[in-house]
Amino acid sequence: MNKKGFTLIELLATIAILSLLMLLAVPNVMSTIDKNKKDTYIEDAKKMITLAEYEVRSNTSIELPEEGNCIVIPLGNLDLSDFNEGPEGGDYDLNKSYVMIGRKGSSYEYYAAIVENFDCDTEEANASCSTRGVPLSSRNDLNKENARNTVVSNDELDIKVPTIGDNLAGYIVSKVIDS
């Protein structure tokens, strides 16, 4: 009799052990990937604020808002060389993703909202997409340790294109910057 092979019991035990390891490993890997995607949204929102701040400081034609008002700079009006695609493989919505600069006293507060559209079904008459991103959040909130908890999806991410007169985070939109 040939004693060089594995028995059926040994093979089944090996497969059971590998299956158990996979059951433990896959959810941890998926959780890590999701955390990294959320961190990317937060970092992109912070990057938008930095770009808007640079734009306002370097472009003297942009008038900063008065007390209680804000200006809005859509993502499409910022330098997009650092934005390739969103974490889910889609594109950032250039109108719904924006930076808001509000004035309170003598200081300015920066806020960002970012929306990614992905998994678009273009075969339907009204193309439907999944969305994910960060609702309007202040720079301070984006710098907090638990900032990734602000990332939401689909119906929870109900961001509209801001217009003059809208109330955003307690400020009245006085101007939307167009390039």
- pLDDT single digits (tens) 145-161: 999 999 999 888 888 89
C-alpha distances in Å from residue 2, one per residue of 12, 13, 14, 39, 96: 20, 21, 21, 56, 70
**pLDDT given at position 112:** 96
Token digits for 122?
């273009």
Q: What is the mean pLDDT of residues 2-13?
A: 84
Nearest to 173 by CA among 70, 66, 56, 64: 70
**pLDDT given at position 96:** 92
- pLDDT single digits (tens) 35-84: 999 999 999 999 999 999 999 989 888 899 999 999 999 998 888 887 77
Nearest to 42 by CA among 131, 113, 130, 117: 113
